[in-house]
Structure 1
Amino acid sequence: MLTTVIGLIYYFTIFPIILANSVLTLGIFGFVLSHIQLVLETNSISLLIARYLMFPTASSQLFDKVLEKNGQSSFLIECKKKFLQQDINKIKQSSSTTKRSKFVQMEIYWINYLPFKILFLFYHIIRSILPIVISLIPVIGPITVTVLCSPAIGKHLLKRYFQLLNMNKRQIEKVSHRHWGQFVSFGLVAGSLQMLPYVSLLFEFTNLTSAALWANDVINKKIKNFHD
């Protein structure tokens, strides 16, 4: 249903521009390629919307359930206890903060942190737009984006494991760089499956299950030196 709605919106807005450009440059071959592009782009956009609006809670629950079924209940309990303790510490810390210190912190934030946050925001916007621009290239565009984004796809699917261990961005980047080949190969296969129209949402769950099994192997030390 979501893919159909997104497809109709895409068809009456962006698609006419792509179709005109493809037909003018490639003729009848461009007509065929533009319709293939329509299917791939519609699928990618609908998956992106579903992933960030519908899946966050369900994906975490699925990931935890797979770990639990593979005998990692004690690991999950220990990680969630640490989360609870961290929340309690944050509440205590915030309650002991005076109004004066809050004012000072706000002043430091506006002067020292906000300008850099704005720069990082522009960086992330450009970084997000670039794959979209590349994906507009008929047929090879979405495939190229999948290959380029394969490490990020691997990290995204393993995100819940990183959350359970309370790993920061620097630690995650260190792990992904050390095991770059594993993240690329896993992300490439997962991304290729998610390119299949109308079944991409199903493969999102199967990919999460595979990521949870990967995490289970890491916990059981079947994959050595994953963190260190």
Structure 2
Amino acid sequence: MAKFSFAALALVALSALSASAQSYPASQASTDLTSLCSSLSYLPVCSIQKLTCTTMSSTYPSQCNPIALMHTGCADPAASSNAACSTINKLCTSTPTATECSANITGLPTAKAVSMNDYSICYQMPMMNSCTICPGSPSNTTLIYQSCDPLNAYGQLCLEMPGMSQCANWQTFCSANSKIAPYCSAAAAAASPSSSPSPSAKSDASFNGVGVIPAAAVAIMVAALGF
């Protein structure tokens, strides 16, 4: 009887471990990612899913892991309350040591961070070719470009002029992710405008780690966005 009880307990334990390992399978993550990106297409993870993973998932398997995309995407304040994030958020709140909760895209900036860097760069150098990707100003409520792809804009702007101070986050992201295309690789530059205009840069000031934005641009943004 004791032997049977021990075996039964062992079987229950193994079943629990198996269930834990499959608590957020890649198939569900893929479904959730589709839902997330249908409503918040401007998220950096949605840009990666569309521009990188559609054709280059075998080149960037870690970055195209749907669980990593969901965990990283749902950590972005712009997405944290989205219904598609409920499962991964619940799992990582209740079981933070779960394997799924350590899957990340290292160094990926938030939607707000890339948007603010885009705005800063194109305020300083409006003639840069890639300023056409996300023209104008970001949303006056979220400070995020919501009708374009701000991560792609950021990548292309920094490919044009990688020495800009606003590209510090881009450098970190690219270094941590094997110069992922089309945001970081030289090959991507050939597929998008690559000439670098040389308007004189305006003086700038630090902007809370999001990038660098000119002091004068802060006043312009406040006025333009209605603050």
Common topology (TM > 0.5): no
Higher helix fraction: Structure 1 or Structure 2?
Answer: 1
Query: What TM-score range do you get, normalising by the shorter chain?
Result: under 0.3
Scaled by the length of structure 2, what TM-score is found?
A: 0.28
RCO (CA 8 Å, sep 6+): is it higher in 1 or 2? 1
